[in-house]
């Protein structure tokens, strides 16, 4: 009787040892001691350790990390990757201070057309001596550099404007104007600078405005060159003598229009 009991105990112990040799390790960290019955492409079938004669259980391979078998082999289905998350570094945002003045010279150029009225004086007298009228057309070109632009929208200007007048009357009256000015946000501008012509050097004053569409600007300007007084010698043919006199060049008033485009 005793021998029979020992044999039964040995068989049960051996069966228990043999059955509990398989271990399923799940991805969530839990494990199942069992006897693996079948492994399919998507599932694993097994019997539980504490109920070897019970039903067959099924679990999905996607939930399993490793199966360790009794013979020492392993099936590795998925090794969780270590997620390395870079620490979030709070970088202080430095607010960029908006500059009050933008130093980016911009160059524009374009044609000019208009007219000039020559007031009474030396210039008008020379024109009349040729049998012409002191109302002359002007043709030329404007070269403009916007030196800088302020936050308010005002722009500093340097302009060079060569002109030719009187062509419509068969005359060639060149003049050169160098202007330094300021243009407001709304396009109104004022400029001043030297004027060189056949009557000599003078000072030019100009006011105007401009409007634009797309990248084309349309300026409208009025310019005045005040009369310049200078000393000259006058010969009197009746007396055969000369005398010093004051000569006035005559005021010149001009109206000019045109267009400007930016030079690339």
Q: What is the pLDDT of residue 172?
A: 94
Q: Indicate the DSSP class of residue 93.
A: P
Query: What does residue 35 show for φ and ψ, rounded to 5 degrees?
Result: -120, 110
| The pLDDT of residue 117 | 96
pTM here is 0.57
What are φ and ψ of residue 163, in 5° steps? Answer: -135, 150
The Cα–Cα gap between 157 and 142 comes to 12
pLDDT (tens digit, 0 to 9) for every residue of the chain, 264 residues total?
Answer: 555 544 545 444 445 444 447 888 888 878 888 888 898 888 899 888 887 888 888 888 888 988 988 888 888 886 555 444 444 444 444 444 545 666 778 899 999 999 999 999 888 988 998 899 999 999 999 999 989 888 788 899 999 999 999 999 999 999 999 999 999 988 899 999 999 998 889 999 999 998 888 778 899 999 999 998 877 777 677 776 777 778 888 999 999 999 999 876
Backbone Cα Rg of the chain: 51
pLDDT at 3: 53
Residue identified by tokens 């020559």 is: 118
Candidates 227, 225, 250, 228; CA nearest to 119 is 250
Residues in the chain: 264
For the record, the structure tokens of 238 come out as 């009746």
Q: Check residue 135 and give its pLDDT.
A: 95
pLDDT at 94: 46
Q: What is the pLDDT of residue 104?
A: 74
List the 43-48 sheet strands across, edge first: 57-60, 43-48, 31-39, 22-26, 64-68, 74-76
Residue 174 corresponds to which tokens in the numbers above?
């060149």
13 Rama class: left (phi>0) / alpha (psi -120 to 50) / beta = alpha
- Three-state secondary-structure class, residue 246: strand
Q: Contact at 8 Å (CB) between 263 and 108?
A: yes
252-258 vs 43-48, strand pairing mode: unpaired
76-91 burial: b if 16+ Cβ within 10 Å, else e: ebeeeeeeeeeeeeee
- The percent of the chain in helix, strand and coil, each rounded to the nearest 5, is 10, 55, 35
User: Distances in Å between the alpha carbon of 230 and those of 197, 200, 249, 253?
Assistant: 15, 10, 8, 20
């Amino acid at each position: 009787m005793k021998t029979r009991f020992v044999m039964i105990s040995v068989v049960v112990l051996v069966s228990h040892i043999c059955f509990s040799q398989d271990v399923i390790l799940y991805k969530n960290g839990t494990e199942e001691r069992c006897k693996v019955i079948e492994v399919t492409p998507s599932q694993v079938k097994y019997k539980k350790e504490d109920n070897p004669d019970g039903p067959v259980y099924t679990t999905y391979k996607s939930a399993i990390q490793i199966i360790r078998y009794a013979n020492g082999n392993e099936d590795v289905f998925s090794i969780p990757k270590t997620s390395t998350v870079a620490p979030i570094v709070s970088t202080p945002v430095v607010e960029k201070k908006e500059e009050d003045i933008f130093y980016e010279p911009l160059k524009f150029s374009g044609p000019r057309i208009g007219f000039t009225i020559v007031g009474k004086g030396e210039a008008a007298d020379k024109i009349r001596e040729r049998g012409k009228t002191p109302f002359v057309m002007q043709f030329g070109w404007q070269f403009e550099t916007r030196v800088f632009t302020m936050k308010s929208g005002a722009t500093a200007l340097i302009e060079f404007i060569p002109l030719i007048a009187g062509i419509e009357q068969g005359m060639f009256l060149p003049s050169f104007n160098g202007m330094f000015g300021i243009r407001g946000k709304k396009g109104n501008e004022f400029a001043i600078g030297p004027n060189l012509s056949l009557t000599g050097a003078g000072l030019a004053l100009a006011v105007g405005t401009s409007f634009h569409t797309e990248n084309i600007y349309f300026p409208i300007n009025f310019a005045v060159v005040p009369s310049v007084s200078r000393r000259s010698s006058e010969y009197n043919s009746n007396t055969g003598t000369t005398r010093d006199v004051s000569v006035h060049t005559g005021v010149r008033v001009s109206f000019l229009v045109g267009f400007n485009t930016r030079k690339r």
